Amino acid sequence: MKIRSVPFFNYPWVYEQHEEEIKSVMQDVLKRGAFILQKDLEEFENSISKFIDAKYVLGVADGTNALNLGLISAGIGRGDEVILPSHTYIASAASIHYVGATPVPVECGEDHMLDVDSIKKAITKHTKAIMPVQLNGRTCNMHKIQAIADEADLLIIEDAAQALGSKFKGKSAGTFGVVGTFSFYPAKVLGCFGDGGAVVTNDNTIGDKLALLRDHGRNAKGDVVAWGTNSRLDNLQAAVLSVKLKYYIHDINRRRELAALYDSYLKEIRQLRLPPPPSNDCEHFDVYQNYELVADQRDELKSYLAEHGVGTLIQFGGKAIHQHTELGFRDIRLPVTERMYERFLMLPMNTSLTNSDVEYVCEKLCNFYKNK
Ligand SMILES: *Cc1c(COP(=O)(O)O)cnc(C)c1O
């Protein structure tokens, strides 16, 4: 087999997939001059609300803003501690920092998700909330996390940036906590043509607060009734997202198919630990934002795959939250997470991949480990 190019992510594909339909929708918005807080945004918010069964969905500037506003609306602030997995994007921790609270990073488990036992050990009298991160398109065991939160009287703020449509026991990611957040960054499971995000809640008071917060504290009449900021999902992006949402179930199913295909080719390689396979056991329904392995000789493998045209990525620049010492994290030891960070690697996972792309990638992986 000759070298083929399997990039980690295919950005032009975000557009190419539905080029004609997107062009016509964008033209419609542009001709109407409907740019900010128009009906396309409202329609998109309503669609997401139905899709995940959440009462309030507010389109905001990006996933990081969604977290910031979510934390503020839930009353998290100065002096509070928020527990989160150390295996997450810096934005999860930064949002906690920016509301004046302290991010407390803890271990991740075998499935790469927030480790439940580590949460308990990190609770102090200052702990106000837990921020589970629905990483790689999987939802944490939210029953266990909810039980801990109930016992210690803590709020749950869900970072579901990577997990639109993912479920735990039939309930959608983003709807377990008092607030949940999503990102529509182009490489996310549902991606727009720039930055975008949403914050969701079932709580009336918080929903009202969020609506004010994202639009300068202005109510429906335009009167300023609270301190707010500017964090609105562009109407044009919302219109594009509505097009993509129509095909989203199909996209998720394709991602699950690709994950099953990887699984079938790679499961015999003892130097790899694969992510949980797509299951139908009614516990976890994963949407595979990422296909993240734990691999022996990770760096060597990454170079070998690159030589053969296969793009891979080490998530979050290869650094867990607590390893960012420049940000003031000192003397935190999370051995399980640290060991995994030496071995994490993500394979291409997106709907532009063909089955033979996946076969090619897996063949290269098999070749790499064959004589080791
Ligand atoms: C992408 C991401 C974010 C931030 O989303 P942006 O839209 O890029 O601001 C936050 N948390 C996690 C886990 C993410 O993957």
Q: Does position 181 have pLDDT exceeding 70, yes or no?
A: yes
The architecture in CATH of the region 13-245 reads: 3-Layer(aba) Sandwich (3.40)
Ligand 1 midpoint to CA 32 (Å): 31
Ligand 1 contact via 81 beta carbon (within 6 Å):
no
Record the pTM.
0.97
Can you tell me the mean pLDDT for 213-217?
98
Ligand 1 midpoint to CA 334 (Å): 22
Q: Where are the beta strands (DSSP E) in the chain?
A: 56-60, 81-85, 102-106, 127-130, 155-159, 167-168, 171-172, 179-183, 197-201, 272-273, 284-285, 291-295, 344-347
29-54 tens-digit pLDDT: 999 999 999 999 999 999 999 999 99
Question: Ligand 1, closest atom to CA 91?
Answer: 10
Diameter over CA atoms, the chain = 70
Ligand 1 midpoint to CA 89 (Å): 7
When pLDDT is cut at 50, 70 and 90, the band that residue 372 belongs to is: confident
Ligand 1 midpoint to CA 60 (Å): 13
Ligand 1 contact via 159 beta carbon (within 6 Å):
yes
* Rg of the chain in Å (alpha carbons): 21
| Residue range(s) in the chain whose domain bears CATH number 3.90.1150.10 | 247-369
Question: Ligand 1, closest atom to CA 135?
Answer: 13
- Residue 233 backbone class (left: φ over 0; alpha: ψ -120 to 50; beta: rest): beta
Is domain 247-369 given the CATH code 3.30.70.260 in the classification? no
Ligand 1 contact via 195 beta carbon (within 6 Å):
yes
When pLDDT is cut at 50, 70 and 90, the band that residue 1 belongs to is: low
289-336 tens-digit pLDDT: 999 999 999 999 999 999 999 999 999 999 999 999 999 999 999 999
Question: Ligand 1, closest atom to CA 197?
Answer: 7
Ligand 1 midpoint to CA 92 (Å): 7
When pLDDT is cut at 50, 70 and 90, the band that residue 282 belongs to is: confident
* AA identity, residue 90: I
When pLDDT is cut at 50, 70 and 90, the band that residue 2 belongs to is: confident
Ligand 1 midpoint to CA 70 (Å): 14
* AA identity, residue 233: L
Mean pLDDT for the chain overall: 97
